[in-house]
């Protein structure tokens, strides 16, 4: 995932309006800004949830900007240290909408997503309308216009959204992007649209044919997150994703199946975490430790199928871990396979519930990610 200012540079080159900002690396840079106040002081980190974590600060003066820079530079936000800060004009936004172009397995290619309500709490609104078109050359502006007709009542805004979406589709193909998300896409008083934020994810595997992908990946950010190094040392396979459901599973196939079910239920997996190479108390404890520490994980789903691994041996370990944990994140269990009936009794005795099907466990985990549903 690119930093915001890198993503906006791509959007600007594609003809999408973005604020004219200044990238700074020291608090003293506030003295040299040419921007009119108030301004937005925005931490540049390649992780989500920046706004909710306090990574965007409004400053009404040079002194305020300097204070915000001192507050943000060097700080750790969602596991990443802030090395750069983007200063932009504080936009007078009339309305915020959401627009993205992303790889969509259901579309067997790409899809456009749009919501007339954007911003940091976009997930609390109704799901975005979706236009799945597959191959990039199959995008049709008139089809998107038809789909948006019932979602966006403002004709001028709708036409501008269609135009921007077409530019994002072209950009995704030209620059090997798997996701281009503008949230919020700001509607100003004159109905003009400005990309107030930008999340751009490029396909690292395409670096061999697109040289600037490798150039844009800051070597410091190529280093694995400490959690991944710790997982590898504990013989666990961990790949971070951008969802909320932390998944502890056994076997790559079972893990992928659970991830698909999470997506089908309307959720997003936070990780691929396979414990099959270390199905021991130490391995499971490490898995919980990694997910409990990650701010993006809201709920933990334990989905383990026992062949050689006996569930009546796994269940007591889970009970001990739940007793020891200090985290309040809810945990949903689906232990199945060898001696699963005994595992049910062991968990029940500890006041824990083992769901009878993976679909039921997934549905509960996804429900618990919703605001107001966590126990």
Which H/E stretch holds residue 334?
strand 331-337
Token couple for 210: 């697109």
**Between the CA of residue 95 and those of 59, 92, 183, 186, what are the distances in Å?**
21, 9, 12, 6
pTM of this prediction exceeds 0.85: no
Token couple for 57: 């600060």
Q: Would you call 95 helix, strand, or coil by DSSP?
A: strand
> Which residues touch 225 (CB under 8 Å, ≥6 apart)?
79, 240
- Considering the four listed CATH numbers 3.40.190.10, 3.30.565.10, 3.90.950.20, 3.40.50.261, the one that applies to the domain covering 226-368 is 3.40.50.261
Q: Could you give the CA distance from residue 74 to residue 204 in angstroms, rounded to a whole number?
A: 27
Topology given in CATH for the domain delimited by 95-216 = D-amino Acid Aminotransferase; Chain A, domain 1 (3.30.470)
pLDDT by 10s per residue, the chain, length 375: 889 999 999 999 999 999 999 999 999 999 999 999 999 999 999 887 788 889 999 999 999 999 999 999 999 887 788 999 999 999 999 999 999 999 998 899 999 999 999 887 777 778 899 999 999 999 999 999 999 999 998 999 999 999 999 999 999 999 999 999 999 999 998 889 999 999 999 887 777 777 777 666 555 444 556 788 788 889 999 988 889 999 999 888 888 999 999 999 999 999 999 998 899 999 999 999 999 999 889 999 999 987 777 899 999 999 999 999 999 999 999 999 889 999 999 999 999 999 999 999 999 999 999 876 555
Please report the sign of the dihedral spanned by the C-alpha atoms of residue 24, residue 25, residue 30, residue 32.
negative
Could you give the residue ranges of the DSSP H alpha helices within the chain?
Answer: 4-13, 62-72, 141-148, 155-174, 211-216, 219-222, 226-233, 252-264, 281-293, 311-324, 340-349, 358-368
Q: Which of 303, 279, 283, 276 is nearest to 358 (CA)?
A: 303
Q: Could you give the CA distance from residue 230 to residue 337 in angstroms, rounded to a whole number?
A: 29
Res 336: pLDDT: 92
Strand 331-337 relative to strand 299-306: parallel, antiparallel, unpaired? parallel
Say how far residue 41 (Cα) sits from the centre of its chain.
21
Domain boundaries, the chain: 20-89, 95-216, 226-368
Q: Could you give the CA distance from residue 234 to residue 248 in angstroms, rounded to a whole number?
A: 14
Are 20-89 and 95-216 the same fold in CATH? no
Find out whether 112 and 99 touch, Cβ atoms under 8 Å: yes
Q: Would you call 192 helix, strand, or coil by DSSP?
A: coil
Sheet with 56-59, strands from edge to edge, namely: 22-24, 85-89, 39-43, 56-59
DSSP 27-91: GGGGGG--PPSSEEEEE--SSS-TTTTT-EEEESSHHHHHHHHHHHTT-EETTEE---EEEEE--
Find out whether 21 and 86 touch, Cβ atoms under 8 Å: yes
Question: φ, ψ for residue 253 (rounded to 5)?
Answer: -65, -45
Q: Would you call 138 helix, strand, or coil by DSSP?
A: helix
Is domain 20-89 given the CATH code 3.30.1490.20 in the classification?
Answer: yes
Res 221: pLDDT: 47
Res 220: pLDDT: 43
Please report the sign of the dihedral spanned by the C-alpha atoms of residue 235, residue 236, residue 237, residue 239.
negative
């Amino acid at each position: 995932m690119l930093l915001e200012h890198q993503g906006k540079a791509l959007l600007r080159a594609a003809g999408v309006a973005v604020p004219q900002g200044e990238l700074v690396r020291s608090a003293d840079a506030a003295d040299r800004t040419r921007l009119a106040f108030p301004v937005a002081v925005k931490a540049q980190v390649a992780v989500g949830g920046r706004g909710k974590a306090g990574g965007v600060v409004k400053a009404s003066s040079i002194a305020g900007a300097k204070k915000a820079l001192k507050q943000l530079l060097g700080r750790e936000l969602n596991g990443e240290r802030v090395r750069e800060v983007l200063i932009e004009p504080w936009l007078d936004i009339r309305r915020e909408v959401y627009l993205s172009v992303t790889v969509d397995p259901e579309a067997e290619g790409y899809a456009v997503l749009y919501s007339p309500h954007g911003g940091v709490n976009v997930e609390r609104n109704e799901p975005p309308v979706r236009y799945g078109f597959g191959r990039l050359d199959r995008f049709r502006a008139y089809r998107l216009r038809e789909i948006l007709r019932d979602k966006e009542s403002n004709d001028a805004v709708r036409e501008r959204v269609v135009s921007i979406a077409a530019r994002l589709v072209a950009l995704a193909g030209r620059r090997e992007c798997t996701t281009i998300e503008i949230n919020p896409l700001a509607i100003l008083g004159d109905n003009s649209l400005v990309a107030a934020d930008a999340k751009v994810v490029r396909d690292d595997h395409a670096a061999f044919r697109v040289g600037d992908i490798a150039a844009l990946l800051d070597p410091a950010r190529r280093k694995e997150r400490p959690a991944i190094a710790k997982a590898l040392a504990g013989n666990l396979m961990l790949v971070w994703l951008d969802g909320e459901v932390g998944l502890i599973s056994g076997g790559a196939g079972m893990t992928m199946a659970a991830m698909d079910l999470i997506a089908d239920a309307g959720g997003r997996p936070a990780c691929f975490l396979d414990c099959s190479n270390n199905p021991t108390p130490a391995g499971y404890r490490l898995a919980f430790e990694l997910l409990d520490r990650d701010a993006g994980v809201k709920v933990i789903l334990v989905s383990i199928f026992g062949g050689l691994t006996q569930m009546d041996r796994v269940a007591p370990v889970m009970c001990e871990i739940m007793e020891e944990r200090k985290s309040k994140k809810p945990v949903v269990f689906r232990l199945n396979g060898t001696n699963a009936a005994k595992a049910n009794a062991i968990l029940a005795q500890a006041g824990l519930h083992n769901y009878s099907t993976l679909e039921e466990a997934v549905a509960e985990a996804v429900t618990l990610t919703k605001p107001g549903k966590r126990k």
